[in-house]
Structure 1
């Protein structure tokens, strides 16, 4: 695989994301807490938290894992999307995690787990209902949702990781335009060498493909993609696998009514009706499990 120019890609991706969000404003209907810390890695272990103003009890809680190919992205680029989710009657956690290539696998999973431990310890102070947790993510974040939900629902799999799993249970998950089936058709580090490193250890090799470890205990799942999502072809096989395991799930292939292109992580664009449709349908799916 050709070496990718990560610094250049980060610049280009950020320009596109900032253009997407230009002109948006934060809603005045939310209580907003920014730059809370859940771990020892500085800004990479910070998070924002939102819930509707006037909240006086714990709310069902959505934790968002951002995308970006494991090397890009942060909570700032997800704030308008996650704030919208919070306006629908949820507490929402929007967090940073350590990125490749400086930090390699399984750093994002370890950070996700550290966040969960923080929420267990402090969550009630921020109206988090630990008995009604939902996990959502897109692209690389969709893969992390899949993997972390597999860990929490298959403790034998979780025991292969070098950290103790937080005691959490997810009522449901949503995976948007995710990077599934890593290692299914070749070397684990073929697609993301900067994330997995050059040496594939026996333990690393044994942890993939993640899909081999999904059991009937995996949470109910909403799987979404789009007509021009470059990862769309791997979404239906995941949805089929979930159904084969007896997991309650929905699969959605979104398209624009005018047949114009609808690309990767389209649901983040708060200016479009199709993004609202996807996000509202995922919220409705979550509410079925309250």
Structure 2
């Protein structure tokens, strides 16, 4: 049977439309919201493909939530008294406004061995307050402990942080007497991205060829460095390609934001940040550690420990077997409820005692 094509007459169409329920205000709002959401997602996706800002700021927010919980855990183990502290000490003449915190044994103006700690945060987050409870612990053991700030990405790009930290070291030495610092017994310390920066400052101080390539005049003399403490850091950017999943994505975003280029692995920052390539026998005695549940331990901390030992550097390692339980994650040393973190603290203090007393 042949098909018949039905044609709706204009008067019939008007009757059909008249029988349909009106489009409710709620439906219109939901539709408009969905359209706006789709537009925002599409726009953010386009921006994220051409800029690290959206993803970097999202990662920063996540890190800040985790930092708050870690600070609370450290606070349970920090001393209630016996430590004097000066917070947010300004650096005269600093254009960035970055300052530092100073923790010393209570009522003691003596110039003491000094730990200068660079906080972590994947170069895109973090602040000196994140490590303050840990520094109070070090101060209660007889050290001057200083937490330093630096400009983070994507607001500032490499090598801004290195320049700022080098300038801060110069300022600390210049004002050593009033701050309770022994300028000839300095220890550079850091965690995560802060460990990378601490290692970079140590290489800058001890390897003239590296200082020349970086184009920065070191603020310290090699003889002033008594040691280095490196926890859960990054020292070889080429091996970062071995990461996978969310970790790989996060670090790629962070490094893009920090270096200012998506091609960081093939540019000068990628090479100069890989301090594993520049350690010499002049590098200070080093305490280095990482958790067995942290992917960075196996591709960063363990190889760095090997490179230091091969260069003839006195190296104190604290690692665990791969199957150790519980698995110790990134920045495990700050989770002082763990016995392993307490052991790391004890060995850190032993290292400091051995090399600064």
Pair 1:120 & 2:173 matched: yes
Post-superposition shift, 1:42?
4.2
Post-superposition shift, 1:193?
1.1
Aligned pair partner of 2:152 in 99, 103, 108: 99
**Cα distance change on mapping 1:33 and 1:244 into 2, 3 Å:** same
Number of equivalences: 287
Post-superposition shift, 1:282?
1.1
Q: Give TM-score scaled by structure 2 length.
A: 0.74
Pair 1:173 & 2:222 matched: no
Q: Which runs of 5+ in 1 are unaligned?
A: none
Bigger mean CA offset, 161-170 vs 119-128: 161-170
**Cα distance change on mapping 1:60 and 1:101 into 2, 3 Å:** same
C-alpha contact (below 8 Å) 1:136/1:173 kept by paired residues: yes
Residue 245 of structure 1 corresponds to 311
Post-superposition shift, 1:89?
0.9
Bigger mean CA offset, 266-275 vs 204-213: 204-213
Aligned pair partner of 1:159 in 212, 215, 218: 212
- Indicate the SS of the match to 1:160: helix
C-alpha contact (below 8 Å) 1:66/1:140 kept by paired residues: yes
Deviation per CA, 1:176-209: give whole Å up to 9, x if none: 01111124677xx967111112266975466353
- Indicate the SS of the match to 1:288: helix
CA distance in 2 between partners of 1:240 and 1:68 (Å):
25
Aligned pair partner of 1:260 in 326, 343, 348: 326
C-alpha contact (below 8 Å) 2:96/2:151 kept by paired residues: no
Q: Give TM-score scaled by structure 1 length.
A: 0.90
C-alpha contact (below 8 Å) 2:71/2:131 kept by paired residues: no
CA distance in 2 between partners of 1:40 and 1:247 (Å):
34
Post-superposition shift, 1:57?
1.4
C-alpha contact (below 8 Å) 1:116/1:166 kept by paired residues: yes
User: 1:1-290 alignment to 2 at 5 Å?
Assistant: 5-22=55-72, 24=75, 27-38=80-91, 40-43=94-97, 45-168=98-221, 169-183=224-238, 192-198=255-261, 204=269, 207=272, 209-233=274-298, 234-254=300-320, 259-290=325-356
CA distance in 1 between partners of 2:165 and 2:271 (Å):
21
Q: Which runs of 5+ in 2 are unaligned?
A: 1-47, 242-250
CA distance in 2 between partners of 1:202 and 1:141 (Å):
21
- Indicate the SS of the match to 1:129: strand
**Cα distance change on mapping 1:267 and 1:204 into 2, 3 Å:** closer
**Cα distance change on mapping 1:176 and 1:202 into 2, 3 Å:** closer
Post-superposition shift, 1:17?
1.7
C-alpha contact (below 8 Å) 2:79/2:137 kept by paired residues: no
Higher strand proportion = 1
C-alpha contact (below 8 Å) 2:293/2:322 kept by paired residues: no
**Cα distance change on mapping 1:55 and 1:254 into 2, 3 Å:** farther
